[in-house]
Structure 1
Amino acid sequence: MSSNNHELNKFPWKHVIGLALSLILTLIALWVVVSLSLPTVATLTIIVLLAVCQAFIQLLMFMHINENHGRGYRILAIAFGFYIAVVVVYGSLWIMWFTV
């Protein structure tokens, strides 16, 4: 019982580190777009690589993919994350398409 209580009172450093890394990657992507005069293909490549890194950080730090909850939980968590990403991207594109 005491170790379980210790887990409840522990500060969520993993989430703080995940948030900080996500913010840093987002600021790097912003800096690449705003400050550097790279060709479009190079800029998009860098942004996609940063997005993939951020997706892995989200999976590890916030969706707890590396914890042992069973294979079904991991598949469901990844599928849910993918669903949310698709909804956000296509929803944003839909809004931009019909508001222009």
Structure 2
Amino acid sequence: MAHSQSQAHGSLGGYAVGFILSVILTAAAFGLVLHGTFTSSSALFVLAILAFVQVIVHLVFFLHLNTSKGQGMNVLSLGYTVLAAAFLIFGTIWVMNNVTMLMMSR
């Protein structure tokens, strides 16, 4: 059973740009932590911004996610995945916090 692709995969140039941007963002985050020129709270803020930008770079250049009409189901799937992951992460933190509070009373 053959699967037909309605959209072409990315070009070598697109993958190269994505790779170079990813390396630059990773090196910037590594350099930020290595040199320690920022305070811990401002470094955390800058790292969060760099991480968010890197996620966007990966979505655009490697997963080929864009805002065209044909990408509607892909964007919906991504949104559901992010929501499910958020429920799992925050639910786990909530449960572990409650367990910790209950165990401290003994």
Aligned residues of 1:63 and 1:77 also touching (Cα < 8 A):
no
- 1:23 matched to which residue of 2? 23
Whichever structure has more helix as a proportion of its residues is 1
Contact preservation (8 Å) 2:25, 2:50: yes
User: Does the aligned pair in 1 maintain the 2:32–2:43 contact within 8 Å?
Assistant: yes
Q: In 2, distance between residues paired with 1:82 and 1:16?
A: 30
Query: Which structure 1 segments of 5+ residues have no match?
Result: 1-7, 85-100
Structure number with greater Rg is: 2
Map of 1:1-100 to 2, 5 A cutoff?
Answer: 11-66=11-66, 68=68, 69-77=70-78, 79=80
Structure 1 residues 81 and 65: CA distance shift in structure 2, 3 A:
farther
Q: Structure 2 regions of 5+ residues with no counterpart? A: 1-7, 86-106
Name the TM-score, length of structure 2 as normaliser: 0.59
Cα offset, 1:36, TM superposition: 3.0
1: distance between equivalents of 2:55 and 2:62?
10
- The percentage of counterpart residues that share the same residue type is 21
> Structure 1 length as normaliser, TM-score?
0.62
Runs of 4 or more consecutive aligned structure 1 residues displaced over 6 Å after TM superposition: 81-84
Between the aligned partners of 1:64 and 1:33, the Cα distance in structure 2 is 30
Q: Structure 1, residues 8-28: CA drift from partner, whole Å, max 9, x if none? A: 8x8521111101101100000
Q: Over aligned residue pairs, what C-alpha RMSD do you find? A: 3.0
Answer yes or no: is the 8 Å Cα contact 2:65–2:71 preserved in 1: no
Q: State how many pairs are aligned.
A: 80
